[in-house]
Amino acid sequence: MKAVLIRKHGGPEVLEIADLPKPKAEAGQVVIRVKAAGMNHLDTWVRRGLPGVTPPLPMVLGSDAAGLIEEIGPGVTGLEAGDRVFVAPGFSCGRCAECCSGNDPLCRDYGILGEHRNGTQAEYAALPAANVMSLPDGLSFEEGAAFPLVFLTAWHMLVGRARVRLGEDVLVQAGGSGVGTAAIQIARLHGARVFTTVGSDDKMARVRELGAEAAINYRTADFLEEVRRLTGKRGVDVVIESIGQQTWERSLKALARGGRLVTCGATSGYRAETDLRFVFSKGLSLLGSTMGSRAELLKIARLVGERRLKPVIDRVLPLERVADGHRAIAERSLFGKIVLKP
């Protein structure tokens, strides 16, 4: 089978379309025939190398996918060959207190497909049966591959961590990203007013179509000044932050008293200074968030199936053009998600 493989870290040139043996379903596993595989910013980090993380190489990239069950392994029940499914990108032990209480990402053994074990950007993928979920009727395979990681990340940030409430103001950084397009929709679904930053004027109309009340081009305007203007100097109740070093200080200053900043990443750098006097004097909350639970993902899938949430697909590329996808993510020349077709 064809698969996107890296044998070492580096630029897009290390991406290889490899010919690998078709996997077989071991006990507790299923093999799916991948019809579509999503790309995420995580793919570029794994390709370049994550500080402090040593992924097993060689590695098949990819955390999202949708397709058809090809083979059922011993001990698997409730699934049949031919079922239309999508892939839950996170895995955990399923037995510890965190897993049993619905806090899967806090499991000591938590990992993500395509980062901690072989992923989904291939013609076939062998996966734990727990990572395979029914694809809602009416959703295409491309849509099924576009929503799991980014919508789960955004949902857990807004609902699980920030506890966003009706009538609150939310600032979503990088509104044209996969997580950003998901966060705008989820915040609106919960009755919040949404402001968002984007990197070009053409994206401003598109984020408004998703539900953002105001879009700020961070290349031509200071988002902090704009937030203060839009809120009458009050600030926002929640900031959804994934940029890190470049925006951290101003994201904090954009918060109203008692506001919550939730971070899921640091694409511009990990090191950011925080004036603690500002945090305690305004009663701010700084919250970390990684992925989310399977229960949250099932709820998201239902809402996507009901068309109350919509996966945003920028383009669909053949597997062989995966390097083009990596370059587009690095250049931020996309809106939403890139999907690969094996």
DSSP codes, 207-230: HHHHT-SEEEETTTS-HHHHHHHH
- Residue at 217: amino acid letter: N
Residues 52-96: pLDDT tens digits? 777 889 999 999 999 999 999 999 999 999 999 999 999 999 999
User: What pLDDT was estimated at residue 173?
Assistant: 97
Residues paired with residue 241 on neighbouring β-strands, in sequence order: 263
Cβ–Cβ under 8 Å, residues 3 and 20: yes
Residues 40-52: pLDDT tens digits? 999 999 999 977 7
Cβ–Cβ under 8 Å, residues 124 and 33: yes
Element (H, E) at 47: helix 41-48
User: What pLDDT was estimated at residue 20?
Assistant: 97
User: What pLDDT was estimated at residue 54?
Assistant: 78
Cβ–Cβ under 8 Å, residues 155 and 186: yes
User: What pLDDT was estimated at residue 55?
Assistant: 82
CATH numbers and ranges of domains, the chain: 2-147+311-341 (3.90.180.10), 151-288 (3.90.180.10)
Residues 6 or more apart from 112 whose CB is under 8 A from it? 42, 63, 89, 90, 91, 149, 291
User: What pLDDT was estimated at residue 272?
Assistant: 87
Kindly list the distances between the CA atom of residue 201 and the CA atoms of 126, 217, 333, in Å, as whole numbers in the listed order: 42, 6, 12
User: What pLDDT was estimated at residue 44?
Assistant: 95
Distance of CA 241 to the CA centre of its chain: 13
User: What pLDDT was estimated at residue 74?
Assistant: 96
Residues 6 or more apart from 141 whose CB is under 8 A from it? 35, 36, 66, 67, 84, 135
Pairwise CA distance, residues 152 & 144, whole Å: 13
Pairwise CA distance, residues 235 & 251, whole Å: 10
User: What pLDDT was estimated at residue 265?
Assistant: 87
User: What pLDDT was estimated at residue 289?
Assistant: 96
Question: CA geometry: angle at 135 spanning 93 and 294, to 5°?
Answer: 25
User: What pLDDT was estimated at residue 186?
Assistant: 98
Pairwise CA distance, residues 216 & 214, whole Å: 7
User: What pLDDT was estimated at residue 66?
Assistant: 98
Pairwise CA distance, residues 55 & 59, whole Å: 8
Distance of CA 156 to the CA centre of its chain: 10
Residue corresponding to tokens 């004036």: 275
Mark the ranges of the chain whose per-residue pLDDT is less than 70. Answer: none
User: What pLDDT was estimated at residue 266?
Assistant: 86
Q: Tell the burial category of 75 from Cβ atoms under 10 Å away from its Cβ (0-12, 13-18, 19+).
A: exposed
Pairwise CA distance, residues 306 & 329, whole Å: 29
User: What pLDDT was estimated at residue 51?
Assistant: 74
Average pLDDT, the chain: 96
Residue corresponding to tokens 């074990």: 117
Pairwise CA distance, residues 269 & 283, whole Å: 26
Say whether pTM exceeds 0.85. yes
Residues paired with residue 195 on neighbouring β-strands, in sequence order: 171, 214
User: What pLDDT was estimated at residue 16?
Assistant: 97
User: What pLDDT was estimated at residue 27?
Assistant: 96
